[in-house]
């Protein structure tokens, strides 16, 4: 037998081994179908039980609704050119108010909304739903009791735990102290942080606010309020420095005006009582009073113009928000009861099939091995 014949024989042996391995590893579908048919009662029973559990879960689950608001804030602008033109128009030459960089970029909006002061500001907002008879504050709505097994246990154990509770904290439960929140207030803040989601597009600045709650009307109300408070917060921050400058210039302008009135009265009194006198002392005093009046007048006019510029900067610094998608009452819930029922039914069917096809057999083998080990021991 030459080398080629030996090589051919080895190849045929290798092919036979591969065929045997494929036959051994292939699934015997007929055997599986036979096992499934034999265990059909068990599969049907388990599937029906899971379907019943899914029905209970679907009927008792809390329906959640999501309301969305989309807005595009103005991404900061330079006010130096407009203020320079205003100063030139008012005759102040190169005098400018300066411009401050915007520290609150759109990327920090989620942190602003998630902050405790921002959330706590909404505690006392009114939420209403006439169809369901709801008319209360947001904190009252989120603190309401819902029917659940946990609440039933809580009602039973509440008298016992009340003996060891801190009564001082309970009496101050309605007071809001941002430095030291109560357990209930902290729970509501965390609940609101989970319910409110803010997504920001870094390139366009488009900000999307989503509020998810168990009532569609209240979800839309909270979403609209979050949008309103966020705009007020950013406007207050962006214009804070300009408003402080405006108040300072108004104060200085008022003081300059009082100084001008005082100098004007002094000069008028001098003229009334020294008419026709040509003494050097009298003339010198008149020159001094006249100079003080001119200085006071110039200072007053300058501070008045500065106050007008500061008022213009407050208006110029105020950001503009374009509401692309306002808050609307969602019509359909996010979680579908039919979907929950189908998931429970599918899980029951899969588990029962796995048990009938594989689990039962391996369970029997495990019991047999355990019995053998016990008999040998």
pLDDT per residue over 48-69, tens digit each? 999 999 888 888 878 889 999 9
Burial of residue 146, with CB atoms counted within 10 A of its CB: 0-12 exposed, 13-18 middle, 19 or more buried? exposed
Mean pLDDT of 135-149: 74
Q: Tokens in use for 31?
A: 């055997």
Task: Report the side by side order of strands in the sheet with 65-73.
Answer: 196-200, 207-213, 65-73, 321-325
Distance CA 238, CA 227 (A): 17
Distance CA 334, CA 65 (A): 6
Nearest Cα neighbor of 65 from 223, 193, 218, 214 is 214
pLDDT at position 15: 64
For 253-265, the pLDDT digits (tens) are 899 889 989 988 9
Angle between helix 216-273 and 280-317 (nearest 10): 170
Mean pLDDT of 269-288: 76
Structural contact between residues 219 and 65, judged by C-beta atoms closer than 8 angstroms: yes
pLDDT at position 105: 74
pLDDT at position 220: 94
Mean pLDDT of 273-278: 70
Distance CA 273, CA 106 (A): 67
Mean pLDDT of 309-328: 84
Mean pLDDT of 200-212: 89
Nearest Cα neighbor of 100 from 214, 220, 245, 198 is 245
For 84-123, the pLDDT digits (tens) are 554 454 454 444 444 444 545 778 889 999 999 999 999 9
Nearest Cα neighbor of 239 from 137, 102, 80, 43 is 102
> Is the C-alpha dihedral spanning 83, 84, 89, 90 positive or negative?
positive
Which H or E element spans position 324? strand 321-325
pLDDT at position 278: 67
Distance CA 260, CA 135 (A): 58
Res 197 pLDDT > 90: yes
Which H or E element spans position 135? strand 134-137
Res 12 pLDDT > 80: no
Distance CA 100, CA 241 (A): 8
pLDDT at position 27: 58
Nearest Cα neighbor of 215 from 277, 286, 127, 285 is 127
Q: What is the pTM of this model?
A: 0.61
pLDDT at position 173: 47
User: What proportion of the chain, given as a percentage, has pLDDT over 70?
Assistant: 75
> pLDDT confidence of 17, banded at 50, 70, 90?
low
For 298-307, the pLDDT digits (tens) are 988 888 888 8
Mean pLDDT of 271-282: 72
For 172-189, the pLDDT digits (tens) are 445 777 788 888 888 989
Buried/exposed 274-296: b ≥16 CB within 10 Å, e otherwise: eeeeeeeeeeeeeeebeebbeeb
Which H or E element spans position 141? helix 138-142
Res 190 pLDDT > 50: yes
Coil, strand, or helix at residue 166? coil
Nearest Cα neighbor of 123 from 107, 142, 108 is 142
Which residues, including other chains, have CB under 8 Å from residue 106's CB and lie 6 or more apart?
A: 73, 75, 200, 202, 205, 207
pLDDT at position 5: 62
Would you list the DSSP string of 35-59? HHHHTHHHHHHHHHHHHHHHHHHHH
Mean pLDDT of 202-231: 91
Distance CA 307, CA 313 (A): 10
pLDDT at position 150: 43
Distance CA 342, CA 271 (A): 100
Distance CA 8, CA 348 (A): 53
For 19-37, the pLDDT digits (tens) are 555 444 455 677 777 877 8
pLDDT at position 276: 66
> pLDDT confidence of 319, banded at 50, 70, 90?
confident
Nearest Cα neighbor of 275 from 283, 264, 284 is 283
pLDDT at position 11: 67
Mean pLDDT of 284-289: 83
């Amino acid at each position: 037998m030459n080398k080629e014949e030996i090589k051919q024989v080895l190849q045929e042996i290798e092919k036979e081994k591969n065929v045997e391995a494929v036959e051994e590893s292939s699934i015997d579908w007929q055997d599986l179908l036979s096992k499934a048919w034999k265990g059909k009662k068990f599969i049907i029973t388990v599937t029906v039980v899971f379907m019943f559990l899914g029905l209970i879960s679907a009927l008792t689950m809390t329906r959640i609704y999501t309301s969305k608001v989309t807005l595009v804030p103005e991404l900061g602008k330079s006010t130096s050119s407009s203020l320079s033109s205003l100063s030139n128009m008012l005759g102040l030459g190169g005098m400018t108010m300066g411009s401050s960089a915007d520290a609150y970029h759109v990327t920090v909006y989620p942190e602003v909304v998630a902050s405790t002061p921002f959330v706590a500001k909404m505690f006392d907002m009114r939420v209403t739903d006439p169809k369901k008879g709801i008319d209360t504050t947001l904190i009252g709505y989120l603190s309401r009791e819902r029917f659940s097994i946990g609440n039933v246990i809580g009602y039973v154990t509440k008298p016992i735990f009340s003996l060891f509770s801190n009564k001082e904290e309970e009496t101050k439960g309605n007071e809001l102290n941002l430095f030291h929140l109560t357990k209930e207030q902290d729970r509501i803040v965390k609940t609101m942080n989970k319910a409110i989601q803010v997504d920001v597009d870094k390139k366009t600045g488009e900000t999307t606010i989503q509020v998810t709650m168990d009532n569609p009307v209240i979800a839309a109300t909270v979403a609209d309020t979050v949008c309103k408070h966020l705009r007020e917060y950013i406007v207050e921050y962006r214009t804070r420095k300009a408003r402080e400058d405006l108040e300072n210039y108004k104060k200085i302008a008022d003081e300059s005006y009082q100084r001008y009135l005082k100098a004007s009265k002094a000069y008028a009194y001098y003229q009334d009582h020294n008419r026709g006198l040509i003494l050097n002392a009298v003339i010198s005093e008149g020159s001094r009073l006249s100079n003080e009046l001119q200085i006071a007048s110039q200072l007053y006019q300058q501070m008045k113009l500065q106050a007008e510029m500061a008022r213009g900067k407050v208006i110029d610094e105020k950001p503009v928000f374009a509401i692309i998608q306002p808050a609307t009452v969602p019509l359909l819930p996010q979680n579908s009861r039919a979907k929950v029922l189908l998931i429970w039914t599918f899980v029951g069917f899969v588990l029962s099939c796995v048990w009938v096809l594989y689990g039962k057999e391996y369970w029997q083998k495990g019991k047999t091995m355990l019995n053998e080990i016990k008999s040998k021991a």
